[in-house]
Structure 1
Amino acid sequence: MHQFTYLFDCDGVVLDTESQYSKFWAHIGTLYYPHVQSFAEDIKGMSLVDIFACYFPHEPQQREIKQLLDNFEESMEYIYIPGVEDFLKSLRDKKLRTALVTSSDHNKMAQVYSAHPEIKDYFDYIFTAEDIQRSKPAPDCFINAARRFDVATEDCIVFEDSINGLTAAKESGTKVVGLTTTNTEEKIMSFCNLIIPNFIGQTPDSITAHFAFLS
């Protein structure tokens, strides 16, 4: 059976944190962009650097928002998406290649490692915002991950939830599994080869079987 490389977004795919971030960024949106009702959705999947570049070019605003975000992330709940731990453990048992590809920065990931020190063992590599120049929806992060493994992007399966992340995955040429943890199936179907609600009942073999004929 064809052997794929498995690439995972973090928030909304491995960790059930997107709803918490939605509330935080919706609040920031009401403060700075009250006329943009979709602000929290528009920035999902983007790195903080790119959010600042696009929406908050002034340093005083950046300092204020960064402090609010740091305080928020310290108090967040970092809960696994249902079924994802078993799925990741199965991938490790089968010695399949895995990477976490996130737009989060080192400070945020330090909070994740504190809550779940075992998460590092689930992945061969963890790529963060500091590893790329352009964040999602640019495809750079997934292309970079494939290069690190020395595999073609079409031999990678990406698990994503946000529109920006799904756009990046599709543009990179990978096979795309969309999770409905953040958006509806109708909203993400045009980006995906496969849609799942979470990882309950999913196995590496079931995912691989779905994509084997596409390779």
Structure 2
Amino acid sequence: MAVRLLSTPTALSHPTKLSFFSSPKPISTATSFFQWRPKCRVFTRKMVVKACVKVEEKNVKETSKQEWGKVSAVLFDMDGVLCNSENPSRKAAVDVFAEMGVQVTAEDFAPFTGMGEANFLGGVASVKGVKEFNTEAAKKRFFEIYLDKYAKPNSGIGFPGAFELINECKNKGLKVAVASSADRVKVDANLAAAGLPLSMFDAIVSADAFENLKPAPDIFLAASKILDVSPDECIVIEDALAGVQAANAAKMRCIAVTTTLTEETLKPAGPSIIRNDIGSVSLDDILSGGSDKMVQDMQFLQVTEQNPSRILNERTRNGSTTGVDVPSNEVFSLQG
């Protein structure tokens, strides 16, 4: 069916008449005469736009899902993702240096976030010019302070929504793992304090067995190997630049959360999606990319419905609106 619009309305209050004819109906089977009965239907500009919007909305959703690809596993970072532990970690580190007589601030540790305790402590020691810094001794003291002050059971260290999202993933048949640059002693303590049983996870990968920590991809690649899932079917959820960089190096898609760093800081690392925290990450984000691109397109579609006279003309002149062609003489045809 083809509908032809012969004039361009300037306002929604002036409906445009689009006419087409019904199929011929015989008056009498004996005489086989046919009478054409024209039927005129009125379509306003808004009605035409809404039809186009419906088609495009469907196409946007289907295209976004196809582009995202298959997902079989989710790799969760711990500090700053499952557990609200980045600031407590910095405070414990400040205490370690205070005992050494070195004055530091919590902000001094920000550049070394997500890189493991050795780099976390050693990086600041290097910047501050601490001589004969004993990394292993500092780590030992750090864990003593951290576990005593912050990683206590029922301390509320777990982020709201973490438990629920993990269960949603498992119920959907996805494998789940913790992949952290922290040592195992801290991983176990944090998960217990957050009320996340170790049995929830198909694998737990910590820093202890690795020489190269994030931003190197080793931890994520090891997790995918343990899960027996190809890296390109893994989704990483991270809060640190080093973690996002590690995910990219592992050729994995990454959802970044802004619990530790701002969106402006995370964007240059190139995460696939950015969300506020794990409670803001949906199963749709994981399975189909949640659609940051789809959200942008949907925002355009909403504006189109609100101001069709201007925006439909712009969109159709660019040839991008599904089902609408606009010749240069401004005669519209809607294909049906």
* TM-score tier after normalising by the smaller chain length: 0.7 to 0.9
Q: Which moved more, 1:25-34 or 1:102-111?
A: 25-34
Say if 2:170 is the partner of 1:92. Answer: yes
Q: Which has the higher helix share?
A: 1
Q: Which has the higher strand share?
A: 2
Structure 1: how far apart are the matches of 2:188 and 2:281?
29
- What CA deviation, in whole Å up to 9, does each residue of 1:33-52 have, x standing for no partner? 75x99530122112224446
Residues 211 and 145 from structure 1, CA distance in 2 versus in 1: closer, same or farther, beyond 3 angstroms?
farther
Say if 2:110 is the partner of 1:41. Answer: yes
* Alpha carbons 1:25, 1:39 under 8 Å: kept: no
Residues 211 and 150 from structure 1, CA distance in 2 versus in 1: closer, same or farther, beyond 3 angstroms?
farther
Equivalent residue, structure 2, for 1:160: 238
Q: Which moved more, 1:87-96 or 1:16-25?
A: 16-25
Say if 2:75 is the partner of 1:7. Answer: yes
* Runs of 5+ unmatched residues, structure 2: 1-64, 292-336
* Alpha carbons 1:17, 1:78 under 8 Å: kept: no
Residues 91-110 of structure 1 aligned to structure 2 (within 5 Å): 91-110=169-188
Aligned length: 212
Equivalent residue, structure 1, for 2:267: 189
Structure 1: how far apart are the matches of 2:122 and 2:106?
19
Residues 13 and 118 from structure 1, CA distance in 2 versus in 1: closer, same or farther, beyond 3 angstroms?
closer
Query: 3-state SS of the aligned residue for 2:75?
Result: strand
Residues 116 and 33 from structure 1, CA distance in 2 versus in 1: closer, same or farther, beyond 3 angstroms?
closer
Residues 195-214 of structure 1 aligned to structure 2 (within 5 Å): 195-200=274-279, 202-210=281-289
- Shift in Å at residue 211 of structure 1? 7.0
Say if 2:251 is the partner of 1:173. Answer: yes
- Shift in Å at residue 118 of structure 1? 4.0
Query: 3-state SS of the aligned residue for 1:157?
Result: strand
Equivalent residue, structure 2, for 1:69: 143
Query: 3-state SS of the aligned residue for 1:200?
Result: helix
Greater relative contact order, per chain length (Cα 8 Å cut-off, separation 6+):
1
* Alpha carbons 1:6, 1:97 under 8 Å: kept: yes
Taking only aligned residues, the RMSD between alpha carbons, in angstroms, comes to 3.0
- What CA deviation, in whole Å up to 9, does each residue of 1:127-181 have, x standing for no partner? 0111322111111111111122232222111000011112111221110100000
Residues 43 and 199 from structure 1, CA distance in 2 versus in 1: closer, same or farther, beyond 3 angstroms?
closer
Query: What TM-score results when the alignment is normalised by the length of structure 2?
Result: 0.55
Query: What TM-score results when the alignment is normalised by the length of structure 1?
Result: 0.83
1:112 counterpart (190, 203, 213): 190
Q: Which moved more, 1:13-22 or 1:195-204?
A: 195-204
Rg larger for = 2
* Runs of 5+ unmatched residues, structure 1: none
